[in-house]
């Protein structure tokens, strides 16, 4: 078909062209017909409509289980902490009211560095499907493609006339919102999914986009001109279309010490009972803002047999889009004091000598009354990758890092993937709750 015509000129400038004033400084402002201002980015666009087509739907029993991969870009890894901190900053600044008017400095002042550790799911879009490698993200909820591989219009593509903008801290995307069919696995096809097609993006080298599986509310206000709209996520649509029986996503990932490894599993529509040991502890999503807009929980962290306090009970988030385990600066100081860890200039991470590491004790995370042990080995960055991250074999580098601000600001920790890969976790969006359980890899000595 190829009838959609899209002519886009992205103008990186603060003001609309020809001196026109934005109608609303607090959001997308209309400058003149055909020209809109996306925060500080003016985009002139022409959209022509596409012909509508009818895909078929296949109903399957849930849950549907998919493999996903971890990929590390070793050349970019020195930025790991900075990227995670930039994302943390954007998460803390998040609120529905502000989603669109983050100041230019806040948005574009962050260097558009590359993701260095990606958790990737291959997703088909259209019919016949084009496969895209998408970052699996519980910390955002828009799904979009086209950062790397170009989007191809097929018979299932429909335009919406909306543009979409999402800012991630370490990057952003501005795109055209379309409706299309999403194939997550053979026969598991979500119809009429609203997704973004990137026009401009930064920070996503090596990736084609994001599959956002966080709370639906995170999509509200990301479209223009349909500014009040929210977008049903892939989980929402899979559930609404009867493809899955439960409105939840389970994630498991085995720790790995190789640069690229496909040993993650994501299950839509229920938990995979083969992937955890014991019971799942479920807790309600925290009531503290802004953590409550994400997969936010309350947790307490102590260190060692003596129970040295690291972080008193407070709110934070679990996030597959963050690599490290980030804790508030004051909590990190307590961790450094307890462990003897010092910042390492070469890698940006904390480090220990092998002798100190031999004495490193477990961290204990109390979530919903259950205490989860996070072993010394789990706190180490895989030692087989020390030189790949610019370090040496004389040290053990740690995955516990500084969130970049003091506790008490509503997001006092981010349990990123290096934490999550030691546990099985569940985001139950219908029940507004988070679940966590131990796995055969909780105590693994992989690192």
Ligand X SMILES: *[C@@H]1O[C@H](CO)[C@@H](O)[C@H](O)[C@H]1NC(C)=O
Active site residues per annotation: 137, 319
Find the length of the chain: 447
CA distance 437 to 286: 18
Which strands sit side by side in the sheet containing 370-374, from one edge to the other?
Answer: 370-374, 363-367, 296-303, 308-318, 413-415, 325-327, 400-402
- What spatial distance separates the first Cα and last Cα of the chain, rounded to whole Å? 51
Query: Which one, 40 or 366, has the nearer CB to ligand X?
Result: 40
Phi, psi of 125 (to 5 degrees): -125, 130
Query: Which one, 267 or 347, has the nearer CB to ligand X?
Result: 347
Q: Which residues contact 92 (CB under 8 A, 6 or more apart)?
A: 290, 405, 409, 410, 411
- Structural tokens at position 333: 């100081």
The DSSP result for 242-254, as a single string, is TS-SSSEEEEEE-
Contact 330, 343 (CB under 8 A): no
Provide the minimum distance between the beta carbon of 306 and ligand X in the complex, in angstroms, as a whole number. 30
Provide the minimum distance between the beta carbon of 423 and ligand X in the complex, in angstroms, as a whole number. 27
Contact 396, 380 (CB under 8 A): yes
Query: Which one, 48 or 406, has the nearer CB to ligand X?
Result: 406
Using CA atoms, how far residue 104 sits from 169, 310, 414, in Å, is 12, 35, 25
Query: Which one, 241 or 300, has the nearer CB to ligand X?
Result: 241
Query: Which one, 101 or 439, has the nearer CB to ligand X?
Result: 101
CA distance 447 to 384: 8
- Structural tokens at position 270: 């229920």
CA distance 395 to 137: 31
Residues near ligand X (CB under 6 A): 25-26, 57, 73, 75-76, 92-93, 98, 101-103, 106, 114, 191-192, 205-206, 241, 345
Alpha-carbon Rg for the chain, nearest whole angstrom, is 22
Tokens 């591989």 belong to: 149
Query: Which one, 101 or 138, has the nearer CB to ligand X?
Result: 101
CA distance 386 to 223: 42
Query: Which one, 88 or 376, has the nearer CB to ligand X?
Result: 88
Tokens 């496969």 belong to: 131
Closest CA to 56 of 129, 156, 185: 156
């Amino acid at each position: 078909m190829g009838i959609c015509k899209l002519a886009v000129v992205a103008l990186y400038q603060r003001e609309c062209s020809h001196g026109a004033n934005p109608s609303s400084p607090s959001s997308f402002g209309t400058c003149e017909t055909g020209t809109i201002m996306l925060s500080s980015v003016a985009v002139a666009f022409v959209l022509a409509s596409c012909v509508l087509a009818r895909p078929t739907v296949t109903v399957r029993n849930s849950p549907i289980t998919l493999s996903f991969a971890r990929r590390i870009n070793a050349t970019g890894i020195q930025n790991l902490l900075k990227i995670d901190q930039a994302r943390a900053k954007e998460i803390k600044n998040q609120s529905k009211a502000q989603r669109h008017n983050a100041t230019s400095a806040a948005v574009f002042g962050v260097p558009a560095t590359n993701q260095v550790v990606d958790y990737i799911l291959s997703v088909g879009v259209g019919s016949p499907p084009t496969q895209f490698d998408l970052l699996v993200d519980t910390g955002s909820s828009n799904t979009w493609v086209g950062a790397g591989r170009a989007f191809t219009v097929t018979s299932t593509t429909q335009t919406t006339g909306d543009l979409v903008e999402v800012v991630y801290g370490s990057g952003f995307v501005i795109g055209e919102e379309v409706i299309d069919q999403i194939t997550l696995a053979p026969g598991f096809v979500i119809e009429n999914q609203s997704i973004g097609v990137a026009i401009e993006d930064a920070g996503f080298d090596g990736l084609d986009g994001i599959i956002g599986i966080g709370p639906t509310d995170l999509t509200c206000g990301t479209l223009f001109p349909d500014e009040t709209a929210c977008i049903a996520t892939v989980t929402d649509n899979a559930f609404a279309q009867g493809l899955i029986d439960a409105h939840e996503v389970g994630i498991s990932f085995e720790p790995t010490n190789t640069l690229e490894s496909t040993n993650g599993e994501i299950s839509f529509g229920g938990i995979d009972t083969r992937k955890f040991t014991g019971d799942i502890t479920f807790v309600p999503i925290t009531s503290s803002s802004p953590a409550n807009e994400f997969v936010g929980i309350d947790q307490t962290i102590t260190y060692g047999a003596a129970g040295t306090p690291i972080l008193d009970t407070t709110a934070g988030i679990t996030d597959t889009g963050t690599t490290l385990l980030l804790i508030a600066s004051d909590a990190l100081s307590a961790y450094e004091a307890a462990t003897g860890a010092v910042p390492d200039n070469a890698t940006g991470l904390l480090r220990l000598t092998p002798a100190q590491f031999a004495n490193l004790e477990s961290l204990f995370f109390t979530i919903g009354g259950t205490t989860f042990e996070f072993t010394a080995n789990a706190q180490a960055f895989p030692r087989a990758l020390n030189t790949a991250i610019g370090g040496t074999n004389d040290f053990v580098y740690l995955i516990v890092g500084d969130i970049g601000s003091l506790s008490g600001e509503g997001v006092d920790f981010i349990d990123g993937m290096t934490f999550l890969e030691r546990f099985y976790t569940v985001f139950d969006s219908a029940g507004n709750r988070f679940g966590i359980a131990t796995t055969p890899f909780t105590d693994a000595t992989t690192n």
